[in-house]
Structure 1
Amino acid sequence: MHGMRAVVALVAVLGLSGCVSFVDLERAPARPSGDGVEVVGAVDGSVDDQARAALADLEDYWAQTLPEVFGERFVPLAGGYFSVDPDDVDRGEYPEGVGCGAQPLEAESNAFYCLAQGAPNSDAITYDRSFLAELAEGYGAFIPALVMAHEFGHAVQARVGSPGSSIATETQADCFAGSWTRWVAEGEAERSRIRPAELDELLSGYLLLRDPVGTSTAAQSAHGSYFDRVSAFQEGFDSGAEACRDNFGPGRVFTQGQFTTDEDFEQQGNSPYGELIRLVRSSLPEFWRRAFTEVLGETFTEPELVSFDGTAPDCAAEDRDLVFCPDEDLVGFDEELTGEVYDIGDFAVATAIAIPYALAARDQLGLSVDDEEAVRSAVCLTGWYAAQVYNRTITSVLISPGDLDESVQFLLDYGDDPEVLGGADLTGFQLVDLFRGGFVEGARVCDVGAG
């Protein structure tokens, strides 16, 4: 996030997706584990068991969904499925090689779908079970199933066609994985299940799976930024496989980008803390003045924006880190929090401060500021603000590669802390979905009466 000058219309909306729905899931009922499908090389253990169950459920899901969405009958993968532990390989287990003839060691720290005409075991999924076990330890037991769902998405593309570019192909596979995960979360799968809390872990896991910050969208093997991949997954989760089919054409916007200067690369796009606070102080009132005038048909009065160190102003609960006081029209942030959040990145700090600032805007519109509806709206409106920074419609700041990834990290890491966002009882997954909704569709989905 850096200073700049530009003038563009505020009402521009990104072409990332169609409708956004914000979901509240109860825990899906447990289902008995089935025998699943055959996985060559699999051993008894949680990773192979979960992968086998997921693959069987994926076959069920796409046998139902492919005809409904693409008008084609699902044909099972001809090459099958392979589990490999590169540190403990008996090559006799794989007499014809793993997928497409790859050697087992080529699967190290990887999972892949392959399709190669004339190759052995073409149209197959291969995975390193020890690598998936490590992911599961860090990001939840559902991660192996998510990886299977992503790779299965590539198998679907092999049957119906892929978007073309690497980044579009990979994020569409994330979208397909999201649509299947929603089906699992609703209790439709016979073998797999997921708890709402695990959705937060899944989104956290995508941080490990993103491209390095600064990767070009045109890179030969580009998979997408953290925000791109999470957005695609949630798009499928919210709107189903139809959205994955329809929204990954040439006009899709990807937020991944390259650094433009050596200095920006060295700083990883982060402004010094003091400069960052100055940018936030200038960009938030500028955004809301224009939002009120150009979209909401009102006149915005800038609230007082104050920082404090450990103890909130008298108008707020002393243990709150982000505050809005309606009577004083005061927005405050604890620099103990923002100093810590700055370790994520500068735009994580901007995201944090923008949320109570959005409550001030709601107050001026005569809307609630102290209930769950207000928090939902404020997070969504913060996504709208982030979109205008990204679109360069705010004249004082410039987005840097990785900035939107930092917003996702902040919401996942701090969103459930009552000292940060109060007692809204929203999961990180829901908060990211709300932010994404505002980013993609603007004020009309943020409950402020905008058409």
Structure 2
Amino acid sequence: MRGSLGRAVVVLCAVVAVLCTSGCAFAVDGRAVAGPEVTAGIDPSFIQGTNGSDEDRLAAAVLRDLEGYWGQTFPALSGGQAFPPLRGYYSVDPSGRTAAPGASGVPCLANPRQVEGTAFYCPDGDVIAWDRSGLLPQLRRDFGDAAVIVVLSHEFGHSVQGRLDRTGALATAPTILLEAQADCYAGVFLRRVRDGSLPDLRTGSAGIDGAMGALIGFRDPVGTSPRNADAHGNAFDRVTSFQDGFDGEPQTCAAMGRDRVFTQQSFRSAEDESSGGNLGLQPLIDAMLPDLDRWFGGVVRQRGGQWTTPATDNGAATCDGGSGEVQGPVAWCAAGSGGPSSIKIDEAGPLATDHARIGDYATGTLLASRFGTAALAGLGKPTEGAAGGRGALCLAGAYSAAVGTGTSGFGLSPGDLDEAVTQLLKEDTASRGTDGVPAAGTGYERIRVFRAGVDGGPDACLRGV
């Protein structure tokens, strides 16, 4: 099966996905930013095994709009060939307790329990099937209705792949590339949903954040090698593939090839693996500060600016005369009374909570963004407002891409970029200017700004600022 989204076992608020077939399997976080309801729901009687539930009515609307969209779009990709309809869709209750007529005999499944906690596209049967009693309700609760759209449009993307494959290249393509392309096709479709250009589906920007939350949750376990036969991409890879489609066109996705660069990596040492790639809060701060000073100081000096190492103050993240932590739990404060500027870190509260819940590079992203603010000041660039926040966040992305190179004494672990995008989807402190104004109001835009630095380096962040 291609594109299976893992079998989920619900434990309190977390979902753990385990491999049920040779298809997709991802660890699901479950802690996400929920999107708004999607205005959707049509008669699901064309779905095999449906029980007429709200989940199947939503799935029916998604599938009909997918059929219509790809029916119109596919000929431009295929040299004029029409899009052959899929052979069927199957709604499955893995327990069999509420089996409806037609629920048995799902192609590619020996028994209904094989679909538990997952959705998949089966190329041999040319069908899409899903767990309606576990997966779809869980997606709606944790991420919003748009999560169902992104899951089903991803699976539909695999059917597009197969119909465009005239040379048999899919048989030897890396799984991680096939999944990235399907994520890209899902991004293309969600853009049309957001734009209101489809008959049955509507969502806003918060819904797109909810869809991205699902993608971040459905990621490979940290430390999975990109060469693993079942590798599907870390959160950063999945989100960026989705954004390529959302900001691009179907041709963008179809053109994805083996030259695509993935950030997913395996653990480099047994020690890193045993810790899950995470340092404690204070050890992380102690390890990062010298490297941040080295890298950002180099960026400023290379461009003719003035750099003085900021002092560090582990207390309230409030600048002199300030009335609160407007920058969040980590703040850059301008020099005063002849002393250096400072990085103020409030190690209690949200910083400690997110460090423990998301991972150490949630903290690292905030530290890097505030050093980015210091670099902007050293170059005479704005530090306030959306422009200041955008420049600081972009520079944090540039630093994250450069960590571990040159004379760096600090390196990223396999899950660190996942922690960065999770933090950016959750809240906006890493994107704030010194006056507390964020660079963007959505997680999607914050991740895009961060990614601009990852892809383009400091020059991309400083151009036009």
Instruction: Settle same-fold status: TM greater than 0.5.
Output: yes
Match for residue 148 of structure 1 among 133, 152, 168: 152
Contact 1:352 1:410 in 2 (8 A): no
Residue segments in structure 1 that go unaligned for 5+ positions in a row: 1-26, 117-121
Contact 1:315 1:325 in 2 (8 A): no
Partner of 2:230: 221
After the TM superposition, which of the residue ranges 48-57 and 433-442 deviates more from structure 2?
433-442
Match for residue 401 of structure 2 among 366, 369, 387: 387
Partner of 2:131: 128
What is the aligned residue count? 415
Determine the C-alpha separation between the residues in 2 that align with 1:235 and 1:269. Answer: 28
Partner of 2:387: 373
2:423 maps to a residue whose letter is: F
Partner of 2:49: 41
Structure-to-structure mapping, 1:61-140, within 5 angstroms? 61-88=69-96, 93-94=101-102, 97-100=105-108, 102-116=110-124, 122-130=125-133, 131-140=135-144
Determine the C-alpha separation between the residues in 2 that align with 1:313 and 1:91. Answer: 62
C-alpha displacement of 1:280: 1.6
1:218 maps to a residue whose letter is: R
Partner of 1:334: 346
Determine the C-alpha separation between the residues in 2 that align with 1:177 and 1:251. Answer: 21
Contact 2:392 2:431 in 1 (8 A): no
Contact 2:74 2:82 in 1 (8 A): yes
- 1:241-277 alpha-carbon deviations (Å, 9 max, x no partner): 222122x322222121111222111111123433321
Residue segments in structure 2 that go unaligned for 5+ positions in a row: 1-34
Contact 2:331 2:344 in 1 (8 A): yes
Distance 1:417 1:50, change over 3 A: farther
2:141 maps to a residue whose letter is: E
After the TM superposition, which of the residue ranges 434-443 and 190-199 deviates more from structure 2?
434-443
Distance 1:449 1:90, change over 3 A: closer
Match status 1:402 vs 2:415: yes
C-alpha displacement of 1:385: 0.8
2:94 maps to a residue whose letter is: P
C-alpha displacement of 1:37: 7.7
TM-score of the two chains, using structure 1 as the length reference: 0.84
Match for residue 308 of structure 2 among 292, 302, 310: 302
C-alpha displacement of 1:302: 3.0
Greater length-normalized contact order (CA 8 Å, ≥ 6 residues apart) = 1
Partner of 1:415: 428
Contact 2:94 2:131 in 1 (8 A): yes
C-alpha displacement of 1:379: 1.2
Distance 1:95 1:363, change over 3 A: closer
Partner of 1:438: 453
C-alpha displacement of 1:442: 2.3
C-alpha displacement of 1:179: 1.0
1:43 maps to a residue whose letter is: N
1:427 maps to a residue whose letter is: T
Query: What SS class does the counterpart of residue 93 from structure 1 fall into?
Result: coil
C-alpha displacement of 1:278: 2.1
1:319 maps to a residue whose letter is: E
Query: What SS class does the counterpart of residue 112 from structure 1 fall into?
Result: strand
After the TM superposition, which of the residue ranges 262-271 and 155-164 deviates more from structure 2?
155-164
C-alpha displacement of 1:335: 1.5
Distance 1:393 1:240, change over 3 A: farther
Determine the C-alpha separation between the residues in 2 that align with 1:78 and 1:449. Answer: 48
Partner of 1:7: none
Contact 1:225 1:405 in 2 (8 A): yes
Match for residue 188 of structure 1 among 186, 190, 197: 197
Determine the C-alpha separation between the residues in 2 that align with 1:101 and 1:165. Answer: 24
After the TM superposition, which of the residue ranges 232-241 and 72-81 deviates more from structure 2?
72-81
Determine the C-alpha separation between the residues in 1 that align with 2:422 and 2:367. Answer: 15
Contact 2:90 2:128 in 1 (8 A): yes
Match for residue 367 of structure 2 among 353, 357, 370: 353
Partner of 2:296: 288
The root-mean-square deviation of aligned C-alpha atoms, in Å, is: 2.8
- 1:1-39 alpha-carbon deviations (Å, 9 max, x no partner): xxxxxxxxxxxxxxxxxxxxxxxxxx9998775557821
Determine the C-alpha separation between the residues in 2 that align with 1:30 and 1:409. Answer: 23
Distance 1:330 1:91, change over 3 A: closer
Distance 1:96 1:269, change over 3 A: closer
Contact 2:36 2:206 in 1 (8 A): no
Partner of 1:426: 441
Determine the C-alpha separation between the residues in 2 that align with 1:389 and 1:271. Answer: 16
After the TM superposition, which of the residue ranges 437-446 and 396-405 deviates more from structure 2?
437-446
After the TM superposition, which of the residue ranges 377-386 and 285-294 deviates more from structure 2?
285-294
Determine the C-alpha separation between the residues in 2 that align with 1:67 and 1:420. Answer: 46
1:301 maps to a residue whose letter is: W
C-alpha displacement of 1:199: 2.0
Contact 2:235 2:418 in 1 (8 A): yes
Determine the C-alpha separation between the residues in 2 that align with 1:93 and 1:35. Answer: 16
1:355 maps to a residue whose letter is: S
Partner of 1:17: none
Structure-to-structure mapping, 1:212-291, within 5 angstroms? 212-246=221-255, 248-291=256-299
Match status 1:203 vs 2:209: no
C-alpha displacement of 1:362: 1.4
Identical pairs, percent:
33
Determine the C-alpha separation between the residues in 2 that align with 1:37 and 1:241. Answer: 30
1:415 maps to a residue whose letter is: D
Partner of 2:187: 178
Query: What SS class does the counterpart of residue 331 from structure 1 fall into?
Result: strand
Determine the C-alpha separation between the residues in 1 that align with 2:208 and 2:234. Answer: 19
C-alpha displacement of 1:339: 2.5
Partner of 2:24: none
C-alpha displacement of 1:191: 0.5
Determine the C-alpha separation between the residues in 2 that align with 1:268 and 1:363. Answer: 35
2:294 maps to a residue whose letter is: E
Query: What SS class does the counterpart of residue 403 from structure 2 fall into?
Result: helix
